[in-house]
Amino acid sequence: MKLPLGIHVGERLSLEQTYWQAEYADTHGFESVWVAEGRLSRDGIVPAAIIASRTSNVSIGTGVVNNKSRNAALMAVTFKTLAEVAPERVILGIGAWWEPLASKVGAPLSKPLKSMREYIGVLQSFFRNEVVTFDGEFVHMDGVRFDSMYRENKPVRMPIYVGAVGPKMLELSGEITDGVHLDFLLPPSYMEAASASIDRGIARRTDGVASIDVTQIVSCSVNDDDPAEAVDACRAFLTLYLMQQPHIAAHSGVEPELVERIQETAGWPASPEDIKRAMVHVPDSLVHSVTACGTTAQAFDKLLEYHEAGVRCPIISTLGDKERTLTSLAEAAA
């Protein structure tokens, strides 16, 4: 595969579709499979473990788990276990969760940069197989390490990627992590400012690392027989996303007035019928600016545009006819 590609699997897919896509990626030259976890719909760790056991070649990343709902020691040992299932193939993708869900489950966001710095620092100490003592504002550890009662403990190679969006989190990622895993619905032009933020963080490193990896989820829908249908599949998803996570609009070039019109039309939580009514407000130009959709050639050219803008590995998230979208883009990439 000439263009590095990964796939993103999540709650919009059935488990059967999830495992089929992962196994297809494993045998068709894809680089990675990223398992989503966000809404209270499906855990990310269980599917990641099953994918790890069913594949041999692809890396398996979480795209992303959050740093609020799992104790840092439990998170570390969870990924240590995943690394036993798929040695050298696991990536810990982590994010700061999102509101209002975080508050609704009793874990409101507070000082996300500081909490992320503390949490990742502790994870890295665990993966170095150190005894961890840390008394931070958000993370507390008192002389703990991986248990070695039943098997020899060794350092665990575990790349950590942050699901960052804002400039400060991107800068922190450049300073302390191995990569960033960018979200849906950000245009290729977003990479200019994002790269500058990452570089500011890299400039503060003392470990000799001169660059970090950049992946980005790209919503994709392909239909060569009816390109308009593929565009509408992405339009519906964009409409839903602007309702449930409107913070992304500021980074996507979306006017606040458009978000307000969508929210007034559909409300929240939105039904499929609400989405159909609201998506008429979203113009084709916006859909094409932040997704890869239409014909195979149109969608693949958009993936190339992301790559040329600085996204090393675009991560395909399939919409519409999911099987056709995945196989068509795989053939184009090959």
Domain 6-220+291-333 has CATH 3.40.1110.10: no
Q: Is the pLDDT of residue 307 over 90?
A: yes
Q: Tell me, what DSSP letter sits at residue 241?
A: H
Q: Is the pLDDT of residue 137 over 90?
A: yes
Q: Is the pLDDT of residue 152 over 90?
A: no
For 76-86, the pLDDT digits (tens) are 999 999 999 99
Q: Is the pLDDT of residue 243 over 70?
A: yes
For the chain, the C-alpha Rg in angstroms (whole number) is: 20
Strand partners, 35: 9, 62
Helix (H, G, I), strand (E, B) or coil at 311: coil
Q: How confident is the model at residue 321 (pLDDT cuts 50, 70, 90)?
A: very high
The per-residue pLDDT for 328 is: 98
CA 287, distance to chain mean position in Å, is 20
The per-residue pLDDT for 1 is: 59
The per-residue pLDDT for 272 is: 87
For 93-126, the pLDDT digits (tens) are 999 987 788 888 888 889 999 999 999 999 999 9
Which residue in this structure is represented by tokens 């099987």? 323
Instruction: Name the more confident of 248 and 134.
Output: 134
Residues 33-52: what's their mean pLDDT?
A: 94
Asked whether the beta carbons of 123 and 62 are under 8 A apart, the reply is: no
For every residue of 134-176, DSSP letters joined together read EE-SS-EEEEE----SSS--------EEE---SHHHHHHHHHH
Backbone angles phi and psi of 5, in degrees to 5:
-135, 150
Which residue in this structure is represented by tokens 């690394």? 83
| Residue ranges covered by each domain of the chain | 6-220+291-333
Q: Is the pLDDT of residue 245 over 80?
A: no
The per-residue pLDDT for 100 is: 80
Kind plus residue range of the DSSP H or E element containing 93: strand 90-95
Q: Of 1, 31, 8, 301, whose CA–CA distance to 183 is shortest?
A: 8
Q: Is the pLDDT of residue 266 over 90?
A: no
The per-residue pLDDT for 151 is: 83
Per the prediction, the chain carries an average pLDDT of: 94
Residues 225-250: what's their mean pLDDT?
A: 89
Residues 125-151: what's their mean pLDDT?
A: 95
For 177-207, the pLDDT digits (tens) are 999 999 999 999 999 999 999 999 999 999 9
The per-residue pLDDT for 215 is: 98
